[in-house]
A and B are shown apart, each in its own frame.
Chain A
Amino acid sequence: MNSSKIFRNTWALQQLPIGMQLMSIEWRFLICSDGKTPIAEIQKRLGIAPEEGEAILRHLCSAGLLTETSLTLEDFARATVDRAQPTKEAQTLPEYLASAESNGNSRAGAAAIPAPALSPEKTEKAIPQFSPLQKPTQSPMPMSLQAVIQFILNQNSSDPTAGHFATYQVFMGIGTPLLKRNGITSLRFQEDRIITDPELQSAIIESLQKVLKVTCTPEMLSPAAAAAHKN
């Protein structure tokens, strides 16, 4: 995990589900994730090791509580002001940003500069061509909830109770805010719905592989897979 990344809350604190429970350190991490402060700075402020910070971040992201923030060029440039070292030679803005970024990242223990996607080749282009990180526009393959259920039940085909309980274990590993954000407040085993939220799709596949210890591809959970099972 790049410690210069920046995350923000996906829910206003007052909109979080009543009764939602997090560890104290997770609440503190969530509250500090204001869409401006890099992960490294939050870890430093809370006095936690990078590994612990990554684990918390993973949990909060999989629960649908945090999402990565894209930076504008202005935001990125402002974040370099306190860290850029003086130089003897004049620089273009991309050169300045690249040197400030590498300087910020090399400072031991210091918060890294929050870098937008400025690859070396991009920094050589004219500034107006820069654009902040965008979410992919390509829609992911739709996922069928019934295909997910059938996939789990098929792993325990001779024992429906085991299949039902395995389904519970898979869904228990997915943050309820993420499920509720997608309108899933309960689940009956005959139910079907199409899931298009890539975050929920990833969380389902991740939890499914963790609980069942099998490899699963999006194709196996597609509406076509659900239809094939019905037939």
Chain B
Amino acid sequence: MNSDQLKTFQQITLGYFSKVAPGDKPPVLQEAHLRFDSAVFLDYTSIVYITGAYEGCLYISTNSGVLEALLAMHQEPEINDKTRLDMCRELSNVLAGNASRAFGANWTISVPKSLTASETGSLPLPPSTFVMPFVWKDMESYLVVGLKENAKA
């Protein structure tokens, strides 16, 4: 993985929000930071695992408000736990597609998973993560890359 691939991944992932709400202010990327103790999660998380020169995961973690705003953009009249999780699943599919597009053929990308906050505790994650917060509709979400050396590579 190199920084150009990462930037492509960032752009197309944030581009999804701009595309869904073309009339709104696009998401704004905040300064990244690194975490070495525990990963950061909000209410809902869409995650894919990747294997290549490194192994690890990519995920988006958002709060309910972001998913509700996306549901509204999709003209979904019902807002409840089920539709929020449906929206999270859609975000997971977007994430998996973007990962394939950005990182190309040298990476194996898993089937995406959609999780609520209570389910993230048991996720196997690399010990260090690269956290890229972004703000959309005044709400903060996280785009996260977690990698470690691939022992098999």
Contact = CB atoms under 8 A, between A and B. Distances in A.
Interface in A158-208: 159, 161-162, 164-168, 171-173, 176, 179-180, 184-189
A166 B35 contact: no
Contact of B130 (A21, A23, A168, A179): A168
B151 interface: yes
B147 A172 contact: yes
Assign chain B's interface to a size class. 20 to 34
Given A161-B3, A166-B3, A23 B151 contact: yes
Contact of A176 (B127, B147, B149): B127
Interface string B98-142: 000000000000000000000000001111101000000000000
Contacts of A159: 3
Contact of B124 (A17, A21, A168, A185): A21
Contact of B37 (A165, A172, A180): A180
B3 A21 contact: no
Contacts of A189: 31-33
A161 B6 contact: yes
A99 interface: no
A189 B31 CA distance: 8
A187 B127 contact: no
A156 interface: yes
A23 B10 CA distance: 31
B7 interface: yes
Contacts of B128: 168, 171-172, 176
A19 interface: yes
Interface string B15-53: 000000000000000011111111000000000000000
A59 B7 CA distance: 30
Nearest to A160: B31
B139 to A, nearest CB: 21
A171 B34 contact: yes
Nearest to A156: B3
Contacts of B35: 185-186
Contact of A172 (B2, B3, B148): B148
A200 B35 CA distance: 17
Contacts of A180: 36-37
Contact of B10 (A19, A161, A168): A161
Contacts of A165: 2-3, 6, 130
Interface in A18-36: 19-21, 23
Contacts of A179: 36
A186 B130 contact: no
Interface of B: 2-4, 6-7, 10, 31-38, 124-128, 130, 145, 147-149, 151
